[in-house]
Structure 1
Amino acid sequence: MKDTEHMNEERQLALDKIADNDHEIYALLKQRYSPRVFADTKVTDSDLNRLFEAVRWSASSSNLQPWRFIYARNGTDSFDKIVSCLSDFNKKWAPEAPVLMLTAYKEKTDDGRDNFHALHDLGLSLGNMTVQAQYMSIALHHMAGVDWKKAHEVFDIPDGYHISTAVAIGYYGGPLDELSEELREQETAKRKRNPQGEFAFKDEWGQ
């Protein structure tokens, strides 16, 4: 059982990570953040089914649904294979996650044309999964640091599909003292976002 000090630390971290938004947004979006430490709580088959059901009902261009996923639980050979494909930095913390997942997309349409929107649609599906996970108090940490070429070899990915990212999945919580000092600093750092004026332009670019 967690001691009171760890529980208070986790609650405070969760409060500190709530977005300091300029305009009111949906509570689940404000609460979402990407931890590198997770609670000692099993992510069940039912949990994963609900996450993938959220993906299933994501929007996609021409309803092609180009997303694909490989996931594995901690303690399995497949989990270790995913770890082997991660960047050195992500190997410092991700091996403790309850579940790891590789994301991929189908590069072409069924009639052989390049699907320019496939990566966009994969992102949309992960957005759906992220909000569903937040509703369930499950955290997702999306990782760009993955050797996709190695992942293709290790998992024998068929031609026409492309590994994109990795994701660590687990319930929020877990003692920060399990992390190195460097990672603890990143975990507790104040969240920062660019102001809207830097990316949302009215009428013409840059305005």
Structure 2
Amino acid sequence: MTNTNSRESQYSIDSLFLDRWSPRAFTNETMPEADLLTMLEAAHWAPSSSNHQPWRFVYALRGSQHWDRFLDLLIEFNQGWAKTAAALLFVVSRTHTGELGSAEQKPNYTHSFDAGTAWGFLSLQARLSGYYAHGMGGIHLDRIPEALDIPEGYRVEAGVAIGKIGDKNQLPEKLREREFPSHRKPLSDVAFNGTFIAK
């Protein structure tokens, strides 16, 4: 059993897994590009089916010429809090293997699974680097491919806001009430020995 960050695991795990969470209050600070590239380097070493490495990351740093365009690709609710982050990025996965446009292309069944693993590695490295990463499904999926020149054969998976944790009082009241590390269902609700149980 591990206790940290107002969380408790049923089995003993490294505290990093409990210390990682997804805040919405960031400090409005900028981030050196090298810090973000360190997180992306960690993500790049995620396990991958047949080593296809289907993950791709497109990013913008606060203060860069791309920042406003990236922020505009989030739904309005997420723009409201993500505007104080130091970096925004989109996780993209390649849906096929083989040369783009060639007859050798084959569907890659695990492209989203692998990209999700890479995002997990990124979020853990962010925490190790003194930052927090908040993944988002609330993005303009219909606009992102054109806005970021993402061609056919790639799937936009999610958005991510990264930054140093800030004062929760900057958030609207309803979000302030949710600004704490969330708990998880019991392990027995998600892991089953021998037979799947729908819960």
> TM-score higher than 0.5 here?
yes
User: 2: distance between equivalents of 1:17 and 1:83?
Assistant: 30
Q: Partner residue of 2:101? A: none
Aligned equivalents of 2:177, 2:186: Cα separation in 1: 24
Q: Does 1:178 align with 2:173?
A: no
- Distance (whole Å) between structure 2 residues aligned to residue 199 and residue 107 of structure 1: 27
Structure 1 consecutive aligned stretches of length 4 or more whose deviation exceeds 6 Å? none
Q: Look up the SS of the partner of 1:187 in the other structure.
A: coil
Could you tell which deviates more after superposition, 100-109 or 179-188? 179-188
Q: Which residue is equivalent to 1:138?
A: 131
TM-fit CA distance, 1:37: 1.2
- Tell me how far apart the structure 1 counterparts of residues 153 and 47 of structure 2 sit (CA, whole Å): 21
Q: Which residue of 2 aligns with 1:206?
A: 197
Q: Which residue of 2 aligns with 1:114?
A: 107
**Could you tell me which residue of structure 2 aligns to residue 57 of structure 1?**
45
Quote the Cα distance in structure 1 between the aligned partners of 2:121 and 2:6.
19
SS at match of 1:38: coil
How far, CA to CA, are the matches of 2:110 and 2:117 in structure 1?
11
User: Are 1:191 and 2:179 an aligned pair?
Assistant: no
Q: Is the 8 A contact 2:28 2:84 kept in 1?
A: no
- Name the structure 2 match of 1:24: 12
SS of the aligned residue for 1:93 comes to helix
- From 28, 50, 70, give the equivalent of 2:58: 70
Q: Unmatched 5+ residue regions in structure 2?
A: 99-103
Deviations 1:33-91, CA, capped at 9 Å, x for gaps? 10111235432122112111102211101101011111101233422112111122211
Residues in 2 aligned to 1:89 and 1:40: alpha-carbon distance in whole angstroms: 17
Q: Which amino acid is 1:201 matched to? A: F
Q: CA deviation at 1:168?
A: 0.3
- 1:53 aligned counterpart, secondary structure: helix
Between the aligned partners of 1:166 and 1:121, the Cα distance in structure 2 is 16
Contact 1:51 1:133 in 2 (8 A): yes
- Select which of 97, 101, 109 maps to 2:89: 101
Q: CA 1:157/1:180 → structure 2, altered by over 3 Å: closer, same or farther?
A: same
Match of 1:42 in 2: 30
RMSD over aligned Cα, in angstroms? 1.9
